[in-house]
Chains A and B, each alone.
Chain A
Amino acid sequence: MAAFEPSSTMEETRNWSEMPDEIMRMILERLSAVEVLNSAQKVCRNWRMICKDPEMWKVIDMHHIRYTNYDIEKLTKQALHRSGGELIDITLDSFVTEDLLDYISRRSSKLKSLRLTNCLRITTFGLIRALKRLPHLETLHLSGIFSCSEHIKVVGQICPQLKSFRMKTQFLECNDAYAIAVANSMPALCHLQLHGITMTDNGLQAILHGCLRLESLDLHHCFYRNLDANLVKLCGDRIKDFKRPYFYDKMLDELCGDNVFSANDHFWLD
């Protein structure tokens, strides 16, 4: 290998705004929407042009950001405006209101992926109203929204292309209706995660029969009654990535004694 001298003079004079746009774009794409809107787009003319391209805004992540100093709802609207209707993937945190969800659904008919975490301000009705405008949705991840099996049926019907469904909720009664609703209304699912519901073999059987394309099934945080070891084995054989319920039967009785479902418990939030 040839020896080399560090070319310090060259480095000192290099102006990085002359870098290929492709590199700058890759760097800017890795910043959060808030970082781009609040600062990166103001750096220079070239960066501003890159940041105005709707391609940059196909994926918007507003999850886990520090939003004490600015109005996150308004920034979300700005990001959405930049996307020019091309949005395909959005993640929103507890700040989201039904109005904002409505605003997003009216402007994002191409949306494929919607993740709402800790969304205590959204009712199932508000959610369903928005979903009706999102016929291409393939991924729906929800936590913090209280819903019943009837709602799940409706969600399955209005989002026929759903491939990935994740629900963190809290169901107090032992009831398979929830799992059965998923099984009957979401036949195209490849990935399913249920968190916080209580179910038995009947619910699991329904999922196995209804969702034939499942590649992953995560019931780790479900409460399970009358666990049948054979059925669990069948799931493991059929589904590539199967996470069995952690709490079941005797363990569950002990847990209920500790009042795991108390109102102050944030178990069902992310």
Chain B
Amino acid sequence: MSKKTLTLMSKDKQLFNIEEHLAVQSVTIRNMVKEDGASSVIPLPRVDSETLALVIEYLNRQQAPEEDEDYVKKFVDERGEIPTLLELAQAALDLDIKKLMDAACMKVADLIKDFTLEEVREALRIENDRTPEEEKAIRDEFQWAF
């Protein structure tokens, strides 16, 4: 008997095949399979193909990656770029792959913890959207402590 495979579709419409017994390490996919057998293509509208390829690589490891802390850590360490890690974290959130999400978030936190404010904004492409009034409010908030 051949192993059953599932097809996942990224937001840029690329298709990826993965064996069902490996795919169900994702709680989201496991629930879909339980409900309707997930015979058709499973769309992942927030995950791009590059990230989905990484997630498939992660899940394809023969010994359950979610149970091997060292492997999860090594997997995210090898992909140490902040944008990649954030995409990976979001994909893991959507697919409910907990250890992968935890590890990706942990790695981002490790990378940004010694950054200055400007470096954090640059690395995550976040604009400073606070008004001068809000800036002042932050400075004043804890005056009582100083």
Contact = CB atoms under 8 A, between A and B. Distances in A.
A78 B17 CA distance: 51
B12 to A, nearest CB: 6
Contacts of B138: 41-42, 48
Interface in B59-111: 83, 86, 89-90, 93, 101-102, 105-106, 108-110
Interface string A11-24: 10011110110110
Contact of A20 (B53, B90, B121): B90
B16 A2 contact: yes
Nearest to A30: B109
B45 to A, nearest CB: 13
A239 B109 CA distance: 38
A241 to B, nearest CB: 20
B25 interface: no
A16 B113 contact: no
B71 to A, nearest CB: 20
A6 B111 CA distance: 24
Give the contact-size bracket for chain A: 35 or more
A14 B105 contact: no
A253 interface: no
Contacts of A17: 124-127
Contact of B120 (A14, A15, A39): A39
Contact of B105 (A30, A32, A41): A30
Interface string A82-100: 0000000000000000000
Contact of A7 (B50, B93, B101, B127): B50
Contact of A43 (B17, B89, B117): B117
B22 to A, nearest CB: 13
Contacts of A10: 12, 48
Interface string A35-50: 1000111111101100
A6 B145 contact: no
A31 interface: yes
Interface centre among A7, A32, A47, A77 (most CB of B within 10 A): A7
Given A16-B126, A32-B113, A74 B146 contact: yes
B128 interface: yes
Contact of A26 (B17, B89, B121): B89
A15 B134 contact: no
Interface string A227-251: 0000000000000000000000000
A45 B109 contact: no
A31 B93 contact: no
A28 B105 CA distance: 9
Interface centre among A43, A45, A71, A77 (most CB of B within 10 A): A43
A22 B130 CA distance: 21
B31 interface: no
B7 to A, nearest CB: 9
B129 interface: yes
A204 B90 CA distance: 52
Contacts of B121: 43-44
Interface in A64-83: 71, 74, 77-78, 81
Nearest to A17: B126
Given A4-B50, A7-B50, A16-B125, A31 B105 contact: no
17 contacts: A1-B53, A2-B16, A10-B48, A16-B86, A17-B125, A23-B105, A26-B89, A26-B102, A27-B89, A27-B109, A30-B110, A31-B109, A31-B113, A39-B117, A47-B126, A71-B146, A74-B146
